[in-house]
Homo-oligomer: A and B are copies of this chain.
Amino acid sequence: MNLKKRIKKLKQIKSKLYKKDFLLTWEKSPEDLEMILEVADILKQLRDENISPKVFASGLAVSIFRDNSTRTRFSYASAANLLGLEVQDMDEKKSQVAHGETVRETANMISFLTDVIGIRDDMYLGEGHKYMLEVAEALDEGYKEGVLPNRPGIVNLQCDMDHPTQSMADLLHLKKEFGSLENLKGKKLVMSWAYSPSYGKPMSVPQGIIGLLSRYGMDIELAYPEGYELIPEIVEIAKKNAKASGGSFTISHSMKDAVKDADIVYPKSWAPYHIMQKRTELLKKGDTAGLDALEKSCLAENAKFKDWEYDEEKMKSTKKGKALYMHCLPADITDVSCKEGEVAATTFEQYRIKTYHEAGFKPYIIAAMMFTNQFKNPAKMLNKILKKGRKRKGM
């Protein structure tokens, strides 16, 4: 569709994203989510057609990464740069945060000329989301008191509960693969635990997936070995979502059985809820010996489920033997990145390029979150961009 028409259609979507942080997808309305998907895709098309959507002459996009990251870091930087913002990393090793500064104060100190703050904080259960709310509250106060000329918007780049930039990129990928959100109705999606030689992978990806994709009328099956539960509250949300959207939500305990007739499979390792609780306690206490012991026992437990690998045989049992394979990357690929992992090399290889496409939506999803947070009328601003038609590259 041409850009003019697409932008015009945007006007019909009644979203309420302006000046609202994007923390959890389940706090957002269907219109909000649709708006993000559409704006993301329009921004992508603009760039593909060499039109620059640079709407900031200056401004900072602060990033706070409390965990290592390649792809989210680059996605965030790309999104900020596309819109004209400069990334400024709040590196806690370089900064004074470690020296007893309060979140409240720091949040203001880094925000005087800041438009967006992206935060990744997924290490401690019960902490990441809470931390974002604390930052949000501090920014609200700073703005109210005239300390900050604008209220910077917060983008959740992964917390202990949700990973909305990932799940929204995944949703846009599905929309593209199946033609529309409508077409997702009745499709079977299996979010399955998978074996990995590491332990302690965050739950935010599977939680993000079931929390979001349950809203589109799909039959969601969450499969994991007994004991590998996710946060119960989020599972409840998924159940409710599924029901409300005319889909279903079931939990089962065999990857092999679950993937039968699936249209979409998402095999991915995570550490179970009760382990994450224990781990968080030990981390807070700084109990190294306890952490080592926990890791050992977890790895031993994991090792019982090495057959939770998505392989050729399992793939054959999916719908027409070719369910769409998804992954947030990097996957633990058997014989490639590890000896025994989440997915067989030959199986992964068939969908490798598709997982790259999947990941490629993330910069635009983040840009759309920034854009809709900052502009009350996204359609109007996008129209201006189109009219101005400034080249992204060249003159």
A145 CB → nearest B CB, Å: 5
A73 engages B47 (CB within 8 Å): no
| Complex: A26 Cα to B93 Cα, angstroms | 34
Chain B residues in 8 Å Cβ range of A204: none
Chain B residues in 8 Å Cβ range of A112: 74-75, 78, 359-360, 362-363
Stretch at the interface among A211-219, A232-240, A269-277, A382-390: A382-390
Chain B residues in 8 Å Cβ range of A1: none
| CB-CB nearest in chain B for A356 | B147
Chain B residues in 8 Å Cβ range of A141: 353
A179 contacts chain B at the CB level, 8 A cutoff: no
B100 engages A337 (CB within 8 Å): yes
Interface residues of A in 93-110 (CB under 8 A from B): 94-97, 99-102, 105-106, 108-110
B94 engages A68 (CB within 8 Å): yes
Stretch at the interface among A83-91, A184-192, A317-325: A83-91
A113 engages B353 (CB within 8 Å): no
- Contact A360-B147, Cβ < 8 Å, known A70-B97, A330-B96, A374-B393: yes
A70 engages B110 (CB within 8 Å): yes
Which among A75, A97, A99, A395 has the greatest number of chain B C-beta atoms within 10 A? Answer: A395
| Complex: A102 Cα to B394 Cα, angstroms | 33
Chain B residues in 8 Å Cβ range of A101: 70, 330, 337
B57 engages A393 (CB within 8 Å): yes
Interface residues of A in 306-350 (CB under 8 A from B): 329-330, 332, 336-338
Interface residues of A in 128-150 (CB under 8 A from B): 141-142, 145-149
Stretch at the interface among A17-25, A32-40, A48-56, A278-286: A48-56
A393 CB → nearest B CB, Å: 6
| Complex: A187 Cα to B47 Cα, angstroms | 50
The residue that A57 contacts in the complex, of B70, B78, B96, B390, with Cβ under 8 A, is B390
- Contact A356-B142, Cβ < 8 Å, known A56-B392, A90-B70: yes
- Contact A77-B73, Cβ < 8 Å, known A145-B356, A395-B388: no
A239 CB → nearest B CB, Å: 33
| Complex: A330 Cα to B71 Cα, angstroms | 33
Chain B residues in 8 Å Cβ range of A90: 70, 74
Could you list 22 examples of A-B contacts with CB < 8 Å? A52-B58, A54-B57, A54-B58, A56-B392, A58-B83, A60-B78, A68-B95, A70-B94, A70-B95, A70-B96, A70-B110, A73-B95, A74-B112, A78-B88, A82-B113, A100-B337, A101-B330, A101-B337, A102-B337, A105-B329, A105-B356, A145-B356
What 10 additional pairs, Cβ within 8 angstroms, besides A47-B113, A77-B86, A109-B359? A55-B394, A60-B78, A60-B81, A69-B94, A71-B96, A75-B112, A81-B88, A102-B330, A115-B393, A388-B395
